[in-house]
């Protein structure tokens, strides 16, 4: 029996399904990227918006955090689209 029987339909016969394994790796990478995005956004927006940490956020801190997160996500999406577009162009030129 293969270690980690979650590798797709071929795992029970002792063979790993490369397609299922690749999909799991893609999902794990996507989760890691989302976690990194959230961590970076939290760090940057906290440093920018929170002068003196306390038990609650005042109105201006809440607005700052919301706007910071919106801008960060917009920038992330813009960079991601440009990166993906460039990858597609380079793949087409190969």
SS3 category, 94:
coil
Q: pTM for the whole thing?
A: 0.64
Domains and CATH numbers, the chain: 23-49+56-91 (1.10.287.810)
CA-CA distances (angstroms) from residue 22 to 34, 80, 88? 18, 21, 20
At 76, the pLDDT band (50, 70, 90 cuts) reads very high
CB 41 within 8 A of CB 56: no
CB 16 within 8 A of CB 8: yes
> Could you give the residue ranges of the DSSP H alpha helices within the chain?
18-49, 59-93
Task: Provide mean pLDDT across the span 47-76.
Answer: 94
Residues 18-53: tens digit of each pLDDT: 888 899 999 999 999 999 999 999 999 999 999 888
């Amino acid at each position: 029996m293969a270690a980690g029987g979650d590798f797709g339909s071929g795992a029970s016969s002792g063979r790993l399904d490369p397609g299922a394994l690749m999909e799991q790796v893609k999902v794990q990478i996507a989760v890691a990227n989302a976690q990194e995005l959230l961590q970076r956004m939290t760090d940057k927006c906290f440093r920018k918006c929170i002068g003196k940490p306390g038990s609650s956020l005042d109105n201006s801190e809440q607005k700052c955090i919301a706007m910071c997160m919106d801008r960060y996500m917009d920038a992330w999406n813009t960079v991601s689209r440009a990166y993906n577009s460039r990858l597609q162009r380079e793949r087409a030129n190969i």
